Chain A
């Protein structure tokens, strides 16, 4: 397919790449095979910009920008692997690990978890900060799914997919700051939700073991976030991508 949109020249860590006007730095990087670590971003959903893992530097500007929400402009010099950004990504990950109860060893997503992979990618071998060890109740009231807020990183992919793709808006964020918590409907048990369609998209997009199928044991839960990209493409272009095309 010939792309008639206007292209611009950009660089990622000094390497030339081609950007398309209107696309984000993150999209541009992915198209060019450049890795910018990210967590809350998911192709097919609106941009949230909350995890801050994908922040990049642009040229000599000291101000950091989220790659997911910054559009490419001509001659943009994007920096990803600077010492400062590496240190920041690691700190942000440590903050995420410290605020919940992420016990990989007993998690349904062990070995298939985006947060765990991110720790490996960012070289996080321990957490400097004190673990907060919050007491958060698991909601296993739904017949098909389980929500474990201890493993939630508040990326809100589930909130967005339920609202934007499924149109049900079962999920939302309640409370604020450290107490921020995902809730179903008006903070009712998920199993009592009348608006949940049991479609499972929230489970599919969850980057951690926070949302899972019932009855899965350690390491048995595999999510399918790419499904959302296929759905989004199907809706916008009226065509189905093969799973291997949508990676």
Chain B
């Protein structure tokens, strides 16, 4: 058995490497920038570095997401011990230009530069995404150099499992998958569960339309997730973990697989981790594209190789989960918060956000908004600050109409509630949910019944078909919404729609069905006149 990694030595080596060259060019290589052409840009810059014989002067580092995805590909240029600049929409030609002008002639290119003092960057609070745009996700050394695995080392060597759990309890961390269940309570259930065999599952089956928080964590900071899993396993007494990733995330799967191999080689996973008595095996399990597999009991069925459908609870997974053994399912973003909490203490984490919703939350900002991308803000940030400052407002001089949170399980929040703090409880009061972090902004031209129909179609397509209200009720709700948006609806149709909302919400088996009416209910609550305006004129006898 090889010796475990020496975190401090690696950090030292990395520091030397960092200062080896005068210039570092960090190019975002995450999925959003890739789809904007980052691959070619990075290659062009690397080729130019070689052609200009600048290898001793410049190192080109592919990194994870820098956040402002709408401006990709993004490139940062950093001078040793000095200034830095960020460039947007960097084509291969622009990349070469930046290299020649900024690096060779030391003249920045203002026409391509982004001001990193704008609120999009300055108003964020990056905990989970701290390494985004900083580290090279493919190199464990890069993660280690930024404090990686120090929390695991600290926990294994200086803390008892119950102290780790206590720290999480102090932090007030709540599940980032949507429902906001206190993480420490879940952990204690698993820790208290009898038996030798316990499982931990990281839920990376992110399925909300437009949401990619978990994908980014898995792709851009895989070791942070592994470290979180290891800490959770240590605190709860589990020795086997699975990361459930949807098949639509091939890069995440590849990166995680590699990260697991490398971590094992460095004795950060596997047997006798860091020469302690703690063993943990982690494996990736791939979903098959069903939204409902984000529901924990369906997810477990899928991991076991069965049809991915929910089952009745109780028993809860922490009593009877994978193959009948106690199992705990945590969302990927939840687990990504663990290492920082152990490093900085639960009290530090609790000081972020609000007393009941501590820490930060990552959102995928999308829709009719100037800056779309991935943002991280303290819990309790006002919706207005996210939309107007960080997001830069609604473009083209149009007015803001609504923000949709929580995807197909969430609701639409109208302009009059823009000053609501974004936290679990405030959003719930408004008839929406935090959800996993999808945040879609809609301008004044959007017809809200169309939005409701869109999400209902999603829920209808993704219903597993097990329980009647969700299987058949979503179909009928979609049918009614279709008729209403076609201008053929009647007042009776709206009454039937509202009644079905209650039936499906109250009588469905799992969270997918129970939450499916939310987009309809919230739009009926706040934008009812838009529905009424679409109704056809009813003839007297009709």
Contact = CB atoms under 8 A, between A and B. Distances in A.
Direct contact of A and B (CB under 8 A): yes
Interface of A: 47, 49-53, 55, 62-64, 66, 69, 87-88, 91-92, 95-96, 98-99, 128-130, 132, 153-154, 172-173, 175-180
Interface string B454-483: 000000111111111101111110010000
A49 B312 contact: yes
Contacts of B307: 172-173
Interface string B305-349: 001010110000000000000000000000000000000000000
A99 B465 CA distance: 12
B508 interface: yes
Interface in B127-153: none
B463 A50 contact: no
B241 to A, nearest CB: 28
Given A69-B312, A96-B472, A176 B503 contact: no
A153 B468 CA distance: 9
Contacts of A129: 476, 479, 496
A154 B469 CA distance: 12
B461 A92 contact: no
A87 B311 CA distance: 25
Given A87-B499, A91-B499, A173-B307, 20 more contacts: A49-B311, A49-B467, A50-B468, A50-B509, A51-B468, A66-B312, A92-B507, A95-B469, A99-B472, A129-B496, A132-B475, A153-B468, A154-B466, A172-B307, A173-B465, A176-B290, A177-B462, A177-B471, A178-B465, A180-B471
B500 interface: yes
Contacts of B444: none
A101 B463 CA distance: 20
B115 interface: no
A121 B474 CA distance: 25
B506 interface: yes
Contact of A95 (B461, B464, B473, B506): B473
A83 B253 CA distance: 50
Contacts of B499: 87, 91
Contacts of A87: 499
Interface of B: 290, 292, 307, 309, 311-312, 460-469, 471-476, 479, 496, 499-500, 502-503, 506-509
A130 B479 contact: yes
B463 A176 contact: yes
Contacts of A177: 460-465, 471, 474-475
A190 B493 CA distance: 41
A106 to B, nearest CB: 22
A191 B465 CA distance: 26
B506 A64 contact: yes
5 contacts: A88-B502, A92-B503, A95-B473, A96-B472, A180-B466
B507 A52 contact: yes
A173 B290 CA distance: 15
A237 B290 CA distance: 42
A50 B507 CA distance: 10
Contacts of B509: 49-50, 52, 66
Nearest to A92: B468
A247 B520 CA distance: 44
Contacts of B464: 176-177, 180
A55 B476 CA distance: 20
Contacts, number: 96
Contacts of B506: 55, 62-64, 88
A55 B469 CA distance: 12
A25 to B, nearest CB: 13
Given A173-B465, A178-B465, A99 B507 contact: no
B461 to A, nearest CB: 6
B476 A95 contact: yes
A173 B309 CA distance: 11
A124 B447 CA distance: 35
Contacts of A180: 464-466, 471
A12 to B, nearest CB: 19
A88 B503 contact: yes
A64 to B, nearest CB: 5
A22 to B, nearest CB: 13
B465 A55 contact: no
Contacts of B290: 176
B312 to A, nearest CB: 4
Enumerate the 3 nearest inter-chain pairs by beta-carbon distance, A residue then B residue, closest first. A180-B465, A95-B472, A177-B463
Nearest to B470: A177
Contacts of A128: 496
A62 B514 CA distance: 13
Nearest to A93: B468
B338 to A, nearest CB: 31
B48 to A, nearest CB: 51
A95 B508 CA distance: 13
Given A130-B476, A172-B307, A51 B460 contact: no
Nearest to B509: A49
Contact of A99 (B309, B466, B471): B471
A154 B471 contact: yes
Contacts of B502: 88
B507 A96 contact: no
B500 A91 contact: yes
A196 B128 CA distance: 54
A21 B287 CA distance: 39
A208 to B, nearest CB: 14
A57 B521 CA distance: 22
A63 B472 CA distance: 21
Contact of B468 (A95, A176, A179): A95
B294 to A, nearest CB: 14
- Interface centre among A52, A99, A132, by most B CB within 10 Å? A52
A44 B267 CA distance: 50
Contacts of B508: 52
B478 to A, nearest CB: 10
B468 A52 contact: yes
A67 B474 CA distance: 23
Given A96-B472, A128-B496, A173-B307, A179 B507 contact: no
B476 A92 contact: no
A74 to B, nearest CB: 17
A165 B476 CA distance: 36
B470 to A, nearest CB: 8
B312 A47 contact: yes
B289 to A, nearest CB: 11
A3 B506 CA distance: 36
Contacts of A47: 312
Contacts of B311: 49
